[in-house]
Structure 1
Amino acid sequence: MIKNYMEEVVDKVLIEVLNDYKDSCHCAMCIDDIKAMALNRLPPQYICTEKGLLYTKSNELMTQFKTDIIKEVIMAIEIVTKNPRHEHSHNIIA
């Protein structure tokens, strides 16, 4: 099975970073929009073997790798917060 490991990394970073954005909407729609926006701006990391997973996980240890992901997630949070696809009353904590 082929999988984009970057999705897992973005999920993990998003949870960490979103805690600092209390005024942002945390509903499923906004979270999906944030993830999609960040993933579209990051290079995919496709894996299909255990060896590929280990290699990709080792990249996570590199400071620049994580910094790039955090930067894109923060940018996506700020854009989605300013332009949600729903009314502000939809601010449900997921």
Structure 2
Amino acid sequence: MVKNYMEDVVDKLLPEVLKNYDNICKCPKCIDDIKAIVLNNLKPRYISTEKGLLYTKINELSREFNTNVIKEIALAINIVSENPHDC
């Protein structure tokens, strides 16, 4: 099975970042919009083996890696908060 590991990273970090935003809609549609924007702006990391997963997780240890993902999440939150669904 081929998987974009970045989906797991976004799923892990998004709830933590959202805790810092009290006044935005957090309905499933808005959350999906945020995730889609983030994933479209990040380089995909496709994995298909356990070895690929381990290699990708090693890259995740980089401070720059997490900073870039969090930055993209914050940008996506701002975009969606300016254009929320009718929730």
TM-score normalised per structure 1:
0.90
1:62 aligned residue: 62
Can you give the 5+ residue segments of structure 2 that lack an aligned partner in the other structure? none
Can you give the 5+ residue segments of structure 1 that lack an aligned partner in the other structure? none
| Aligned counterparts of 1:52 and 1:60: Cα–Cα separation in 2 | 12
CA shift digits 1:52-92 (9 cap, x unpaired): 000001111001100000000000001100111x22xx2xx
Runs of 4+ in 1 over 2 A off after TM superposition: none
**1:6 is paired with a residue of what secondary structure?**
helix
1:17 aligned residue: 17
Q: How many residues align?
A: 87
**1:35 is paired with a residue of what secondary structure?**
helix
| Aligned counterparts of 2:59 and 2:31: Cα–Cα separation in 1 | 25
What fraction of aligned residue pairs are identical, expressed as a percent? 62
| Aligned counterparts of 2:77 and 2:11: Cα–Cα separation in 1 | 13
1:34 aligned residue: 34
TM-score normalised per structure 2:
0.97
**Root-mean-square deviation over aligned CA pairs:** 0.6
